[in-house]
Structure 1
């Protein structure tokens, strides 16, 4: 049984989930009923490699469906992972609890209205068109493993909505911050936001997020969304300072011992 608060926010959750899947497409996406199984071998993102139940009332044959999905993950050399959101059937959550599935990191999905900007004010920062250069910068800043380069490039190139690849650089120092904005109708997602560790706390993160939102607004977006780990206190402070508020949370579940 869903509580009233959860029931009332489900339409927003459904829309943001659908937009999020389009903004960050998996290499393989297959449905088992309303359960979406996403796989992207070669990329470590759990969001790209997860079982996503999308109807809180679709909890039939949970054990069988979990086993089928888990087999696909193991065949791909991956750990079976359920992404538990407000759309996850309560019965499935109880089943995962009863069978010892581990709860991993919690993520907060946040939204904010994108304010209009004075017509006389210019864009300021123009997004890149060079995906390879953006990927190299992201990997250098975030310390991503070299073997993930091809998969990250493929994910970005697979995005069908309009993208803004933002890169801040200092002469002689190289890339200092990156952000990916994906504009989809009136919504814009912010992904891959990262600031060089030694340059954090200087306002660079706020500047590159602001540049991304400005571009998205000019493209027609009126509301922005993003996902941030609940334990990332500095990022939460940054986003809250920009007017973002919590929409919902999700977490990942894996079988005990895997």
Structure 2
């Protein structure tokens, strides 16, 4: 069976915007790669990504990138998106880059008439302390570090909504959306574990899709872990379709 054709222009449009939607405190541009450092908070913000189709690195460039991560006390990571050349994928894998996580990139079309603002959703243009504290309180491991999360979200320089959804008057869910050139990323979706199953995640997503449509965006995009079947099915019901799959690979050192 033939593999489905991937819309490389659409993948590139998402991948270039992701850099601005989830900005690492330190970023290097190495040829067509963006190499990001964010104190280990997330794999996406601490990895090298190709911004154009056919991404590759020769041995000297790859060694240069790996050394920068080691100097920062981080394992080298490369995101194997469709923009990375097949030969490069093979060589990186043979070098020892193993799969750390696998994700889908998904996109939905927006219509301001179909995506109104959500009742009970409060948004701010900057990430306030209460939002950062709320997100970290429901995370584990490195993602509980509020200083490292604050360093990322404080770097957003395009229109953004940091959203808190209230349930019975109390914060129940958190998420953010960033709008850039007609597309909006939705991410950092967190629902209080004690309140799951009440449709709050769907309500939050629908509200941020409405916010994005009000910003003039015609598409929303997101990334979801391939193992998170419940979230994946929810996003499909909201109109998101899978555009590409990718792996974040890490080199053990």
TM-score, scaled relative to structure 1: 0.88
SS in 1 for 2:5: helix
Structure 2 contact 136–144 (Cα < 8 Å) conserved: no
Q: Does 1:164 align with 2:161?
A: yes
- In structure 2, do the counterparts of structure 1 residues 95 and 221 end up closer, same or farther at CA, with 3 Å as the change threshold? same
* Deviation (angstroms), 1:98: 2.1
Q: C-alpha separation between the residues in 2 aligned to 1:72 and 1:235? A: 34
Aligned residue in 2 for 1:154 = 151
* Deviation (angstroms), 1:81: 0.6
Structure 1 contact 141–177 (Cα < 8 Å) conserved: no
Structure 1 contact 38–49 (Cα < 8 Å) conserved: yes
Structure 2 contact 81–247 (Cα < 8 Å) conserved: yes
Aligned residue in 2 for 1:105 = 101
Structure 2 contact 179–185 (Cα < 8 Å) conserved: yes
* Deviation (angstroms), 1:123: 6.0
Aligned residue in 2 for 1:137 = 134
Q: For residues 172-187 of structure 1, what are the structure 2 equivalents within 5 Å?
A: 174-187=170-183
* Deviation (angstroms), 1:198: 1.9
Structure of larger gyration radius = 1
Aligned residue in 2 for 1:224 = 220
Q: C-alpha separation between the residues in 1 aligned to 2:122 and 2:77? A: 37
SS in 2 for 1:214: helix
Aligned residue in 2 for 1:241 = 237
SS in 2 for 1:5: coil
Q: Any idea what the Cα deviations from partners look like across 1:126-146, whole Å, max 9, x if unmatched?
A: 413552111111112234658
Aligned residue in 2 for 1:20 = 18
Q: Name stretches of at least 5 consecutive residues in structure 1 with no aligned partner.
A: none
Q: Name stretches of at least 5 consecutive residues in structure 2 with no aligned partner.
A: none
- In structure 2, do the counterparts of structure 1 residues 18 and 55 end up closer, same or farther at CA, with 3 Å as the change threshold? closer
Structure 2 residue corresponding to 1:85, chosen from 81, 94, 103: 81
Structure 2 residue corresponding to 1:35, chosen from 28, 33, 51: 33
Q: C-alpha separation between the residues in 2 aligned to 1:58 and 1:115? A: 34
TM-score, scaled relative to structure 2: 0.90
Q: C-alpha separation between the residues in 1 aligned to 2:93 and 2:141? A: 32
- In structure 2, do the counterparts of structure 1 residues 60 and 161 end up closer, same or farther at CA, with 3 Å as the change threshold? closer
Query: Which 4+ stretches in 1 moved above 6 angstroms?
Result: none
- In structure 2, do the counterparts of structure 1 residues 146 and 10 end up closer, same or farther at CA, with 3 Å as the change threshold? closer
Structure 1 contact 141–175 (Cα < 8 Å) conserved: no
Structure 1 contact 141–176 (Cα < 8 Å) conserved: no
SS in 2 for 1:178: strand
SS in 1 for 2:124: coil
